[in-house]
Amino acid sequence: MKGIAFYFMALAAVSALIGMAWGIQMSASGNHALSPAHAHLNLLGWVSLSIFGVYYHLVPRAAETMLAKVHFALAAVGLIVIVPGIVSALRQTGEAMAKLGSVLSILSMLCFLVVMILNRSRA
């Protein structure tokens, strides 16, 4: 695995490790107040990024496009912004980062849909 597929999978694995450690910390402390942020880290970070990485590995021509790089940037920045944003929203210290991360994450998914449509016959 190389290129954008590798980057998606590497960020997915980092997300999984952080998510697992965070889950253990919540369990050990008995405080699950931030579990919605933890869940988003696991779903957007581990699951979605892994799916994107597998797709780009299976469709290498799609991985070579500028749109794939834009997709990675949107997905990575969206994840990095939304998780602490949800923490901030849960702590009632502001929702701006959660909203921005949500918009970036949905743009990432829209970008992925466009990539798939443009490359539907290239598998």
Is 55 within a domain? yes
Tell me the C-alpha distance between 82 and 4, whole Å: 22
Q: Which domain holds residue 92?
A: 3-118
**Residue 121 pLDDT class (50, 70, 90 cuts):** confident
Is 48 within a domain? yes
- How many domains does the chain divide into? 1
**Residue 122 pLDDT class (50, 70, 90 cuts):** low
pLDDT at 1: 87
Mean pLDDT of all residues belonging to the chain: 96
Task: Report the pLDDT averaged over residues 100-113.
Answer: 98
